[in-house]
Amino acid sequence: MSENEGTIRHRWWKEAVVYQIYPRSFQDSNGDGIGDIKGIVTRLDYLKGLGVDVVWLSPHFDSPNADNGYDIRDYRKVMAEFGTMADFDALLAGLKARGMRLIIDLVVNHTSDEHAWFVESRKSKDNPHRDFYIWRPGRGDGPPNDWRSYFSGSAWTLDPATGEYYLHLFADKQPDLNWENDHVRAEVYDLMRFWLDKGVDGFRMDVIPMISKEQDFPDYPPEHRERTEYYHAVGPRLHEFLQEMNREVLSKYDVMTVGEAFGVTPEQTPDLVDERRGELNMIFNFDAVRINNDGRRYQPWTLPELKAVYTRLEERTDAHCWNTVFLSNHDNPRLVSSFGDDEEPWRVPSAKLLATMLMTLRGTPFVYQGDELGMTNYPFTAVEQYDDIAVRNAWKAEVLTGRVAAADFLADMARTSRDHSRTPMQWSAAPNGGFTTAQKAWLAVNPNAATINAEAALADPGSIYHHYARLAGLRRSHPALIYGDFVDVAPEHPRLFAYTRTLDDEAYVVLLNFSRQPVDVDLPGIEIGDLVLGNLAPPADARRLAGWEARIHRRR
Ligand code: ISL
Ligand code: CA
């Protein structure tokens, strides 16, 4: 906050632009329809040209893919479909050679049920690995408590071998590790060292706030029955575990960490990221990305609500904390379809507007693959077209039981499904968007690849891709856009997001028109200054924004 501004410490990960790669959907190199590491290696110059500093690679580990790699069978092995350890090493070397860094996904709330630890654990009650997971006897004829899986149904599955239930907050093929067990924590720290010693630059930590569980396993408290993530994210030993992890491992390396803080409120954020606590560098707060859906149902949203999220976060995190900025990832629909306007001719300007916002809000920006092309949601119409376990399980639990009408379910999914972001990258107008030479990609390519693709974007200086590159360059060379104070100067305006970023005597005004209609900029007491970068041809009237216009001005 302003009074502490001078004390903010400069860190490479605060200055970085991070790009998320979902390897299954990025680039296939061997024609099997599945993206792979060799494919990524062929696209490193594309990333460098975009202005990427850090790549976050979604899970690349050996996995039976019940949840596309978020169910890990062997933490020290590369998924065969993605390639070999030599391929991974080549990726790391190729990134470093271009001055980029790599962070990988740390998925240690749970493993796959095919992990050797779980295979052992389920064998008998006295197996040495029994206590690596969370086993409890049932209550009456049912599970131990009322906890629900995020992929529908109970979070407990009865295992016939021993007649006990194991806990899985996600799919039944994703049993939760028992973090109370010292051996589990030691194993996790060890696998972290394995990858850090290879030279990776940090971790994105999957659902990390959920690792600690209340040991008497009570039913949900009434206030958390609906949004259970706010219960699971505040387990009693969370901070103790993270401080131990930091002491034992992270503090020994110059790395960055970002926690996927599903269920953490802005008020709780400093507990995880205040640098004096020695836990994480930053977290993903879900308030913005989930403003129009709860992960399942679509809900209408307004711009003042979205703006308020950023102000609330800003007010709760002082100079010892750092935030992230993201509005999409592999668990959410496409950026331009969710927050912009994916109808032509608004798609390009609105995608550039969103890029402007990501790169100029206060925090490390995370760009999800394909958003730099303005890729849109896929026109899904039938349940068979979806791959995601979340959709398939919810269909069974809600539609096949008659609780939700098929048409309503499909209408929600057409707006909220995770698969929108998982359709393959659109590299060119070639069949399957140039993603694969196979007849069929693992998930259908959006038919609009014929026009929305990287080849076209690279050739067009006015493309969304090149706008990202310009924004990344601007951010990199102007500390006020990184470390500067953030103030929303028109919080109530229904269509205009206008904010200042100020550091010492350098000040920017960012103006974003979130609508098709022009907006008059009337900001009493705010001098706008000179135009630095906009998404449309320079305006005739500096005080009027055209539909979806986005501008960065610099005050003298
Ligand atoms: O997208 C969701 C449900 O459809 C979220 O609830 C999501 O599961 C939650 O944000 C946690 O996400 C992470 O952990 C999951 C994995 O499926 C997601 O891909 C991952 O990002 C379990 O590992
Ligand atoms: Ca492949």
Q: What tens digit of pLDDT does each residue of 119-156 get?
A: 999 999 999 999 999 999 999 999 999 999 999 999 99
Task: Evaluate: CB of 418 within 6 angstroms of ligand 1.
Answer: yes
Top-tier CATH class for 116-167: alpha beta
From the list 443, 430, 327, 442, the residue with the least C-alpha distance to 378 is: 443
Query: Ligand 2 center to residue 390 CA distance, Å?
Result: 24
The answer to whether residues 19 and 469 touch, using CB atoms and an 8 Å cutoff, is no
pLDDT, tens only, 284-326: 999 999 999 988 899 999 999 999 999 999 999 999 999 999 9
Q: Which atom of ligand 1 is nearest to the CA of 110?
A: 23
Question: For residues 365 and 51, what is the distance between their CA atoms, to the nearest angstrom?
Answer: 12
**Does residue 427 register a pLDDT over 90?**
yes
**Does residue 556 register a pLDDT over 80?**
no
pLDDT at 540: 74
pTM (2 decimals)? 0.98
SS3 355: helix
pLDDT at 363: 98
- Tokens 């991974």 belong to 88
Q: Do domains 116-167 and 485-555 have the same CATH topology?
A: no
Percent of the chain with pLDDT over 90: 96
Q: Which long-range contacts (CB under 8 A, 24 or more apart) does 397-406 make?
A: 397/152, 397/153, 398/152
Cβ of 6: how many Cβ atoms within 10 Å?
Answer: 10
SS3 380: coil
Query: Ligand 2 center to residue 60 CA distance, Å?
Result: 13
Query: Ligand 1 center to residue 331 CA distance, Å?
Result: 6
From the list 346, 348, 328, 337, the residue with the least C-alpha distance to 415 is: 337
**Does residue 2 register a pLDDT over 70?**
no
- The mean of the pLDDT values for the chain is 97
Pocket probe for ligand 1: among 20, 283, 324, 331, the residue whose CB has the most ligand atoms within 8 Å is 331
pLDDT at 294: 86
Nearest CA to ligand 1 atom 7: 331
Question: For residues 354 and 351, what is the distance between their CA atoms, to the nearest angstrom?
Answer: 5
Task: Evaluate: CB of 206 within 6 angstroms of ligand 1.
Answer: yes
Query: Ligand 2 center to residue 292 CA distance, Å?
Result: 34
Task: Evaluate: CB of 67 within 6 angstroms of ligand 1.
Answer: yes
pLDDT at 541: 84
pLDDT at 73: 99
| Ligand with minimal distance to 176 CA | 1
Q: Which residues pair with 487 in a beta bridge?
A: 500
Gyration radius of the chain over CA positions: 23
Confidence of residue 4 (pLDDT cuts 50, 70, 90): very low
pLDDT, tens only, 93-118: 999 999 999 999 999 999 999 999 99
Query: Ligand 1 center to residue 207 CA distance, Å?
Result: 7
Burial (CB count <10 Å: 0-12, 13-18, 19+), residue 45: exposed
- Tokens 């407990």 belong to 156
**Which range (251-265, 395-409, 426-440, 535-549) has the least confidence?**
535-549
**CA 265 to each of CA 233, 241, 283, 359: distance values in angstroms, whole numbers, following the listed order:** 9, 19, 11, 23
* Degrees to nearest 5, angle at CA 173 with 167 and 176: 35
Task: Evaluate: CB of 170 within 6 angstroms of ligand 1.
Answer: yes
Phi, psi dihedrals of residue 339, rounded to the nearest 5°:
-115, -15
Which residue in the list 206, 341, 371, 372 is annotated as catalytic?
206
**Does residue 3 register a pLDDT over 60?**
no
Percent of the chain with pLDDT over 70: 99
Task: Evaluate: CB of 380 within 6 angstroms of ligand 1.
Answer: no
Q: Catalytic: 164?
A: no
Q: Catalytic: 206?
A: yes
Which residue in the list 260, 314, 342, 549 is annotated as catalytic?
260
Pocket probe for ligand 1: among 22, 56, 65, 70, the residue whose CB has the most ligand atoms within 8 Å is 70
pLDDT at 539: 75
Please provide the DSSP assignment of 233-256 as one string.
TT-TTHHHHHHHHHHHTGGGS--E
The answer to whether residues 426 and 454 touch, using CB atoms and an 8 Å cutoff, is yes
Does the structural domain 485-555 have CATH classification 2.60.40.1180?
A: yes
Q: H-helix or E-strand containing 351?
A: helix 347-360
Residue-range domain boundaries for the chain: 116-167, 202-322, 485-555
Cβ of 211: how many Cβ atoms within 10 Å?
Answer: 27
